Amino acid sequence: MSSFSGDRGAELRQIFFESAQEILQAMNVEALHLEKRPDDIEALRSLRRAVHTLKGDAAACGFKELSHLAHEFEDVLVGENMAQSAATVETALTAADVFSEMLEAYRTGKRVPTAEPLRKLIQNLASPRSEAHGKEASSKDSPAKKQRPKSRTGAKAKTKVLARTKSNKRAPEKKQEKKKKNTVPPSHARSAIATDNVTSSGKEPATQAQPVWTE
């Protein structure tokens, strides 16, 4: 039973190595197509399907490193803006080369090469998309600014200021009227002034004729 399982596993791996070469070739073709026509969304979808297939087949054969890396790349190939990104083409071509080196290591039983440079490209490709998504979410979650109601206290204060301004305008008029009243001399002062005028002129003021009453 174990021998059959081993033979079956070896057969599956052989089929996988053959189909993986076709998948890598498809990745290169779609990446070059995106380089010439960045607005071709179907090319981006074909690239994503190829990476998805490679991820599933590698997991079925037990090649976890390759499966996880393909999964990371598949996750960032989402959204129409990815097709218009020059970084998408560069990352896809680099991924095809790294996947090819990993497949060769699995085939020959050698040590799997490091994939850190590819992971950095994938992370950089995902950063603009995550930032844009975060801004969009924050704009939706942030409540609209409400206008503050006008303060009644402010309206009352404004009314008081206007009332004070009017009263201040009326104050000078009242003061002028008081001055005019103060400038009119009293009766005894007027008589004194008349006496002074007679002395200075040498003439007595004319007296009014007294009415004569007849019986």
| pLDDT tens-place values along the chain, 215 residues long | 334 466 788 889 999 999 999 999 999 999 999 999 988 999 999 999 999 999 999 999 999 999 999 999 999 998 767 777 889 999 999 999 999 999 999 999 999 999 999 999 999 988 865 444 444 444 555 444 444 545 454 555 455 545 555 555 555 555 555 555 555 455 544 444 444 444 444 444 444 555 554 44
Q: Which amino acid is at 181?
A: K
Contacts for 71 with CB less than 8 Å, ≥ 6 apart: 55
Q: What angle do CA 99, 17, 23 make, to 5 degrees?
A: 55
CATH topology of domain 7-135: Four Helix Bundle (Hemerythrin (Met), subunit A) (1.20.120)
Write the burial class of residue 47 (CB in 10 Å: 0-12 exposed, 13-18 middle, 19+ buried). buried
Would you call 33 helix, strand, or coil by DSSP? helix
Contacts for 46 with CB less than 8 Å, ≥ 6 apart: 26, 30
The whole-number pLDDT of residue 122 equals: 94
The whole-number pLDDT of residue 39 equals: 87
Half-sphere exposure of 26 (CA within 13 A, CB side): 17
Q: Which two tokens stand for residue 35?
A: 């380089």
The whole-number pLDDT of residue 96 equals: 97
The whole-number pLDDT of residue 127 equals: 80
Give pTM, 2 decimals.
0.58
Q: Which residue carries 């079925």 as its tokens?
A: 60
The whole-number pLDDT of residue 84 equals: 76
Q: Where are the alpha helices (DSSP H) in 77-210?
A: 86-108, 116-141, 152-183, 187-201
The whole-number pLDDT of residue 7 equals: 77
* Residue 184 zone, left/alpha/beta (φ > 0; ψ -120 to 50; rest): beta
CA distance 40 to 48: 13
The whole-number pLDDT of residue 167 equals: 54
Half-sphere exposure of 151 (CA within 13 A, CB side): 6
Cα-flanking dihedrals φ and ψ of residue 191, to 5°?
Answer: -65, -35
